[in-house]
């Protein structure tokens, strides 16, 4: 038995060594490093700067003084507490949905909703660039799965027309702001397709919350189509400055099904009450700051225009996510390293997260970032490019 076990360990180690060596040879090894202080942070998703907001800190302190640090059990044992119920109410009222559920993470929410509610007989059409968590949920469900070209609603319409069988459950899965390109689909047209073909529309608003909507509820609310969305996914870990996620439903039976059938919900210790308190405070702060959102979006457009004028490739839009397409992996790592040395934290994104040949900087704008910091970034990018040109 011991020899067999040792052999198994050796086989596993050899396989993993091979996989990691191959990844390293392509320059795509990932390393876990503690984040260091920087002068200008354009790397994380704290779009509104709420992760360090005093009102969120105060809310956490009050919760700490009056309750436990941990939920200490799954939600169906004792982990679901009064503060979680209050948070659900706040979310439903904010988005005007009749039903909702809080989750430990956006990944868990997406995987659980699709993996539990969709079934092998269903048909799911998903945008080619939806997040990995959505793909994981779709694959878990066993439903028939087709990707349509990114933001190509003509292609989606053709698929819907060809698959309009009576009695079949059809899903369409999209995001409102895509995490690597920072662009958006035509939500008004998606809503029109929903009304025409009567599919279940699941919309992930993770990167739109706080940046769009009269009260910061996201792009569906801003476009006036939130009532056409059947399932809305949001997160607390981006613009809301905390951790965790939520799903909202037009049909309350979906909530009941997840409570009874979703392993991600049933078998995990629930979200910390402290994080629930932070999320409630964040919703208030987002609603207060929403009137300023037009200024943030104008700055996003201005940066994109400046990048294009300087000869860089980006994607049109006004979201907080601004990609700069570099191409080769080694170049984006070189540029990212240069910027880091100058005090700029940026995301350096490589395949397979993005398509081959499209390695990029991912700039995450912040509501409070002064334009002078972005001008400095552009100057450092230009300085790096001159160095590269001299070498070549």
Distance CA 128, CA 173 (A): 10
CB-based contact 365:317 (threshold 8 Å): no
Distance CA 2, CA 156 (A): 56
Q: Residue 199: which of 148, 150, 131, 246 has the closest Cα?
A: 148
Give the SS3 label for residue 301: helix
Return the residue matching tokens 């698959």: 163
Distances (CA, A) of 371 to 45, 227, 306, 312, 324: 18, 37, 11, 18, 18
Kindly list the catalytic residues. Answer: 45, 131, 175, 179, 204, 207, 238
**From edge to edge, which strands make up the β-sheet containing 40-42?**
40-42, 344-349, 359-364, 321-327
CB-based contact 384:334 (threshold 8 Å): yes
Question: What six digits make up the tokens of 246?
Answer: 């939520």
Distance CA 179, CA 201 (A): 19
CB-based contact 174:142 (threshold 8 Å): no
């Amino acid at each position: 038995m011991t020899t067999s076990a040792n052999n198994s360990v050796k086989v596993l180690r050899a396989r993993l060594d091979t996989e990691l060596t191959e990844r390293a040879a392509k320059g795509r090894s990932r390393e876990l490093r503690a984040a260091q202080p920087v002068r200008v942070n354009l790397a994380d998703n704290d779009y509104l700067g709420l992760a360090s907001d005093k009102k969120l800190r105060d809310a956490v302190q009050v919760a700490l003084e009056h309750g436990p640090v941990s939920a200490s059990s799954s939600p169906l044992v004792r982990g679901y507490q009064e503060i979680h119920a209050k948070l659900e109410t706040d979310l439903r009222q904010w988005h005007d949905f009749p039903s909702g559920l809080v989750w430990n993470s956006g990944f868990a929410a997406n995987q659980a909703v699709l993996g539990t509610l969709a079934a092998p007989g269903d048909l799911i059409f998903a945008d080619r660039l939806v997040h990995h968590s959505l793909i994981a949920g779709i694959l878990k469900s066993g439903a028939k799965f087709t990707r349509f070209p990114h933001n190509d609603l003509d292609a989606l319409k053709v698929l819907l027309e060809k698959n309009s069988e009576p009695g079949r459950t059809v899903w369409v899965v999209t995001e409102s702001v895509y995490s690597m390109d920072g662009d958006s689909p035509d939500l008004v047209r998606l809503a029109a397709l929903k009304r025409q073909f009567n599919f279940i529309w699941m919309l992930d608003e993770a990167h739109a919350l706080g940046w769009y909507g009269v009260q910061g509820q996201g792009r569906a609310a801003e476009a006036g189509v939130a009532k056409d969305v059947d399932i809305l996914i949001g997160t607390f870990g981006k613009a809301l400055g905390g951790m965790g996620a939520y799903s909202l439903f037009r049909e309350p039976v979906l909530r009941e099904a997840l409570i009874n059938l979703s392993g991600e919900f049933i078998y995990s210790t629930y979200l910390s009450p402290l994080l629930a308190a932070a999320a409630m405070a964040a919703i208030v702060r987002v609603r207060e700051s929403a009137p300023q959102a037009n200024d943030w979006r104008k700055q996003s457009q201005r940066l994109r225009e400046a990048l294009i004028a300087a000869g860089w490739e980006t994607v049109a839009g006004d979201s907080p996510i601004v990609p700069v397409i570099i191409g080769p992996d080694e170049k984006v790592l070189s540029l990212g390293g240069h910027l880091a040395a100058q005090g700029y934290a940026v995301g350096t994104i490589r395949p397979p997260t993005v398509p081959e040949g499209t390695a990029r900087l991912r700039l995450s704008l912040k509501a409070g970032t002064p334009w002078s910091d972005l001008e400095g970034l552009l100057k450092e990018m230009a300085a790096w490019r001159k160095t590269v040109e001299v070498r070549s």
